[in-house]
Amino acid sequence: MLDTIRKLLGIAPQLESDGSYSPSKIALKLWTSGTTDFENISYTKYQWKKSKILVIFTEQKNMTMKNGKKFSTGNHPVEAILPMLHLKNAGFDFEIATPTGKPVVFEMWAFPKEDTHVKSLYDEYKSNFEKPMKLHDFVEESLDDADPYAAVFIPGGHGAMIGLPEDRNVSKILHWAKENSLFTITLCHWPGSLLSTTLDNQEFIYKWYDMAVFPDSVDNFTPFIGYLPGKMPVGLSERLKSLGANIVNTKADKTVCVDRKLITGASPLASNELGKLAAETLLKELS
C-alpha cells in the first residue's frame, strides 16, 4: 500500500531494467534540468607544457544502499562536463581513465539534453568515454614524468564511492599529484576517492585541508522523496571529518573552495563555479 501511495505521489524511485532504481519523478523535477548555468567564458588560453589533465571516472553503475536496493548512479554529467568545459576553454586537454578501462558510466537520467555546450563536449569525447585509459597503464607509463600534467580531476556523482576509495591506483595517482604539486580537482561525492590515500594504513594526505563536499544530512533526507532508494551505505562528509578534513559547507549549494593544491565543490549546483575557479586558479599558478 505504501509503495502504491508513493508512486501516486511521484516520490517512488523508478525501477530500471537491471533491477536498480533511478530517482523519482519529483526528485528529477527538483534536482535535474534540461539546461545548466554554464558560463561560456573566453579565457586567455594556457600555452605552456603543463597542458594535460587526467580525468578519473568510475566505470560502475549500481550502488547498494543499506536496505539492499541498488541506486542507478555513476558519474553526474553536469559535475563532469561543466568543469571540463571551463578547463577546455582555458587551453587544457584531457586524458580520460577508468579503473580497468571499461566505459565511463554516466547518470544519464541527469543529462541536460537541451544544453548545447554540454552535448557538444560529450559528443567530442564520446569515443574516449567509451574506450578510456586503464588507471594501471597510467601508473605504469606516466608517473615518472609529471611535467606534462597540470591536474587530476575526479568528477562528481555517487559513483565515486564505488570502488575508487579502495583502488590502490587511485591512491598512487593522488599521492603522485600531491608530491609533484599538481592540482587535484573534485566535487560533490567525489572527495570519496580521496579516502584511497588511507589504504595500507597510510595517513590521510588531506588532513587539516579545507574542502567542500556533499553533506550527509542531505543524503539522509533524499530517500524520503525518492532520489535515493534507501539510506547511504556510509556517510562521506562525516568520514572525511573523522580523518581531519575541515568541511566548509553545510548545504548542497554552490560553495567552492581552494586549499593549497586541492580545489573542491559542494554539489551539482557548484559545477559551473568549480569550473571557473579551477580554470582561473590553474591559469594564475601555471602561466
Residue 125: predicted pLDDT: 98
Residue carrying C-alpha cell 551505505: 233
188 counts as catalytic: yes
Amino acid at 253: D
CATH number, domain containing residue 50: 3.40.50.880
Distance from C-alpha of 267 to C-alpha of 264, rounded to nearest angstrom: 10
Q: What confidence tens digit (pLDDT) does each residue in 132-172 have?
A: 999 999 999 999 999 999 999 999 889 889 999 999 999 99
Give 122 or 1, the one with higher predicted confidence. 122
Percent of the chain with pLDDT over 90: 93
What confidence tier does 5 reach under pLDDT thresholds 50, 70, 90?
low
Residue 2: predicted pLDDT: 52
Distance from C-alpha of 18 to C-alpha of 46, rounded to nearest angstrom: 44
Mapped to the 3 state alphabet, what secondary structure does the chain carry? CHHHHHHHHCCCCEECCCCCEECCHHHHHHHCCCCCCCCCCCCCCCCCCCCEEEEECCCCCEEECCCCCEEECCECHHHHHHHHHHHHHCCCEEEEEECCCCCCCECHHHCCCCCHHHHHHHHHCHHHHHCCEEHHHHHHHHCCCCCCEEEEEECCCHHHHCCHHHCHHHHHHHHHHHHCCCEEEEECCHHHHHHHHHHHHCCCCCCCCEECCCCHHHHHHHHHHCCCCCCCCCCHHHHHHHCCCEECCCCCCCCEEEECCEEEECCHHHHHHHHHHHHHHHHHHHC
- pTM for the structure as a whole: 0.96
Stretch 78-84: mean pLDDT: 98
Residue 101: predicted pLDDT: 98
Contact 44, 95 (CB under 8 A): no
Contact 250, 59 (CB under 8 A): no
Q: What confidence tens digit (pLDDT) does each residue in 36-59 have?
A: 999 999 999 999 999 999 999 999
C-alpha cell at 222: 533524499
Question: What does the CA dihedral 249, 194, 208, 272 come to, rounded to 10 degrees?
Answer: -40
> What residues make up the domain containing 12?
2-286
Catalytic residue among 118, 188, 240, 257: 188
Count of all residues that appear for the chain in the document: 287
Domain count, the chain: 1
